[in-house]
Amino acid sequence: MRGTMMNFPLTLPTILERSGKIFPRVEIVSRKPDKSVVRTCYGEFYNRARCLSSALLRLGLKPGDRVASMMWNHSSHLEAFFGVPCAGGILHTLNLRLHPQEIATIAKHAGDRFLLVDDVLYPVYEKFRQDVSFERVIVAPYGCNTIPEGSLNYEDLLANSDADFRYPAIDENDGAAMCFTSGTTGFSKGVIYSHRAIVLHSFCCGLVEVFGMNEADTILPVAPMFHANAWGIPFAATMLGARLVLPGPHVDPESILELMVRERVTVACGVPTVWIAVLDALEKNPTKWKFGNPIRVVCGGTAPPLELMRRLDRFGLHIKHLWGMTETTPIGTSGGLRAHMRDWPEDKKYDTRAKQGWPAPFVEIRLMRPEGEAPWDGVTSGEIEIRGPWIAASYYESPDQAHRWTEDGWFRTGDVATMDEDGYVKIVDRAKDLVKSGGEWISSVDLENTLMGHPAVKEACVVGIPHPKWQERPLAAVVLKDGAQATPDELRAFLAKSFAKWQLPDAFVFLDAIPRTSVGKFKKTALREQFANWKWEL
């Protein structure tokens, strides 16, 4: 016998309607390029997002059409997050930090029909406009307020919109948004998120072990809205009525701290490099920033070093660990401490918090090795395979990537991990980043995170470099704190307390900065290239 419940579609118009009706007065704060702040609210956002839907339909948007956005984190971009999918289109957030040629390739591959672009980013578009053929370019006055000839003014479009807009019929499995992977390890691949996946993922964001987000929160997504939809926050915050603080182009530590204090942020999210820089600013000037409340810092993209967690705790910034991928919308696992761990010794608690947490509800994970599934014993590692309602079942038009899915429908993540009996995942490394030394694997993640616990080290990144005898050996690239000193021997001795001798890096190089990817992760490919011909002492 079937249940007697309604078959109600999980689509974004329902979230948009809810925000306009239930949270009309909740604020959305956006910072402009000149650092001034604009305040709007979900009530106004609701009207404007609907006007955008209506305008796009008037321009001829058809179901499934891709509308690209090249915008910073601010309220008009949020309007596009709803205005495009609620008109039946798919919002494709372009990664504006990529090389213009790469952006063009991605936009062409995605078949983007329209482009929404910030006025201040129009010059980026001009660098690749000859390679793309958007039917309409809509420019949002955000910074310089210049609308180039031949393009449409976003504000005029909204002002002339039909208030009588009715949502087109949308199936919950229709595409709503599209992102390409940030390409840390190779070419970008596209993923289309369905309405259903985004709605279910938004519920997940509300869970205490994830963002624990609710109407009492003020959320600062430092992660760009083009990086896995700022980790789902724009959708979830709108559904749950959380106050949003959108930082615009300024994500340097001082600008972040200023916003956190002034706007009384309660939750922030970003990759570890952001928080490493924030910690550095806090420690240099410990009395400058006074937070009125503890802050949950949701951190992922790479593993935050344990020492970063420990030191941020002292300032009331508490890291909550999240693991995920563009392909997983992105929440896969998240965590913190469980009830039975409350009385554990401090060090054990930190070790647990440094793990990536346990799978979100409906996200299933198994660890696979050539000989079969790895036990959850906290020691045996295997590649994470994952499935669930917000996990990609394929890439967008990339048949050559079909091997990333198993025959029984699991996604092969390329991440190697262990799991313990409580279901906590610990990422050992990306398979591509493991250092393959004489038949053994060395985790670059463990080495760099331990190194970042050395008092003189600000940043550390470990990569495998070809070696004539061992296939690869680890090389550590280190950025020292301002005015600090450390020699390779000291750093090696520091690591020797936690690692076997064969695991220790054979080379240390001191850099002014570690190259970053377009979303702020350490760019290991660049380091591997730079030091590919390292002269090892044999």
Region of 278 (left: φ > 0; alpha: ψ -120 to 50; beta: rest) is alpha
Bridge partner list, 318: 296
Determine which residue in the list 88, 247, 248, 300 makes contact with ligand ADP, applying CB under 6 A. 300
Query: By rule CB under 6 A, what string of x and - marks binding of each residue 5-44 to ligand ADP?
Result: ----------------------------------------
Q: Specify whether the CB–CB gap between 9 and 224 falls below 8 A.
A: no
Quote the least distance from Cβ 471 to ligand ADP, whole Å.
22
CA distances from residue 169 to 62, 86, 163, 440 in whole angstroms, order as listed: 12, 9, 18, 55
Return all residues near 402 (Cβ < 8 A) that are at least 6 apart. 394
- Work out the burial of residue 515: count CB atoms within 10 Å of its CB; fewer than 13 is exposed, 13-18 middle, 19 or more buried: middle
CA angle 447, 449, 452 (to 5 degrees): 110
With respect to ligand ADP, which residue has the nearer C-beta, 72 or 231? 231
Helix, strand or coil for residue 140? strand
Alpha-carbon gap, residue 388 to 358, rounded angstroms: 14
**Positions in 415-474 near ligand ADP (CB under 6 A):** 415, 427, 430
Q: State the catalytic residue, choosing from 441, 481, 534, 536.
A: 441
With respect to ligand ADP, which residue has the nearer C-beta, 11 or 182? 182
With respect to ligand ADP, which residue has the nearer C-beta, 183 or 232? 183
Stretch that binds ligand ADP, among 117-125, 208-216, 315-323, 448-456 (CB under 6 A): 315-323
Stretch that binds ligand ADP, among 178-186, 252-260, 447-455, 467-475 (CB under 6 A): 178-186
Quote the least distance from Cβ 203 to ligand ADP, whole Å.
21
**Positions in 355-384 near ligand ADP (CB under 6 A):** 356
Quote the least distance from Cβ 13 to ligand ADP, whole Å.
27
CA distances from residue 145 to 36, 114, 123, 154, 280 in whole angstroms, order as listed: 14, 20, 13, 11, 35
295 binds ligand ADP (CB under 6 A): no
Alpha-carbon gap, residue 249 to 269, rounded angstroms: 15
With respect to ligand ADP, which residue has the nearer C-beta, 30 or 356? 356
Residue type, 502: W
Return the residue nearest ligand ADP (CB atom): 184
CA distances from residue 310 to 39, 280, 341 in whole angstroms, order as listed: 34, 13, 17
Residue showing tokens 């990144």: 461
Quote the least distance from Cβ 518 to ligand ADP, whole Å.
9
Q: What is the DSSP letter of 405?
A: B
321 binds ligand ADP (CB under 6 A): yes
Helix, strand or coil for residue 37? strand
Return all residues near 283 (Cβ < 8 A) that are at least 6 apart. 311
With respect to ligand ADP, which residue has the nearer C-beta, 140 or 298? 298
Quote the least distance from Cβ 149 to ligand ADP, whole Å.
37
Quote the least distance from Cβ 511 to ligand ADP, whole Å.
21
Quote the least distance from Cβ 195 to ligand ADP, whole Å.
21
Question: Dihedral of the CA atoms 489, 495, 499, 504 (nearest 10)?
Answer: -40
Quote the least distance from Cβ 94 to ligand ADP, whole Å.
15
DSSP string, 80-130: HHHHTGGGT-EEEE--TTS-HHHHHHHHHHHT--EEEEEGGGHHHHHHHGG
With respect to ligand ADP, which residue has the nearer C-beta, 46 or 390? 390
**Positions in 466-525 near ligand ADP (CB under 6 A):** 519, 521
3-state SS of the chain: helix, strand, coil percent to 5?
30, 25, 45
413 binds ligand ADP (CB under 6 A): yes
327 noted as active-site residue: yes
221 binds ligand ADP (CB under 6 A): no
Quote the least distance from Cβ 222 to ligand ADP, whole Å.
14
Per rule CB under 6 A, count of chain residues that contact ligand ADP: 23
Stretch that binds ligand ADP, among 59-67, 138-146, 300-308, 401-409 (CB under 6 A): 300-308
With respect to ligand ADP, which residue has the nearer C-beta, 236 or 319? 319
Bridge partner list, 68: 92, 115
Determine which residue in the list 46, 193, 235, 323 makes contact with ligand ADP, applying CB under 6 A. 323
Stretch that binds ligand ADP, among 112-120, 144-152, 322-330, 492-500 (CB under 6 A): 322-330
Residue showing tokens 């309007």: 79
Quote the least distance from Cβ 227 to ligand ADP, whole Å.
6
Determine which residue in the list 205, 325, 461, 463 makes contact with ligand ADP, applying CB under 6 A. 325
290 noted as active-site residue: no
94 binds ligand ADP (CB under 6 A): no
Q: Specify whether the CB–CB gap between 325 and 332 falls below 8 A.
A: yes
Q: State the catalytic residue, choosing from 102, 263, 307, 327.
A: 327
Q: Specify whether the CB–CB gap between 417 and 405 falls below 8 A.
A: no
Q: Which of 147, 167, 165, 163 is nearest to 155 (CA)?
A: 147
Q: State the catalytic residue, choosing from 11, 93, 105, 181.
A: 181
Q: Specify whether the CB–CB gap between 433 and 524 falls below 8 A.
A: yes
Bridge partner list, 426: 418
326 binds ligand ADP (CB under 6 A): yes
537 noted as active-site residue: no
Angle between helices 444-451 and 488-496 (to 10 degrees): 110
301 binds ligand ADP (CB under 6 A): yes
Is the preceding peptide bond at 370 cis, omega within 30 degrees of 0?
Answer: no
Determine which residue in the list 20, 175, 183, 232 makes contact with ligand ADP, applying CB under 6 A. 183
410 noted as active-site residue: no
In the complex, the residues that contact ligand ADP under the rule CB under 6 A are 181-185, 228, 300-303, 321-326, 356, 413, 415, 427, 430, 519, 521
Residues labelled as active-site residues: 181, 327, 436, 441
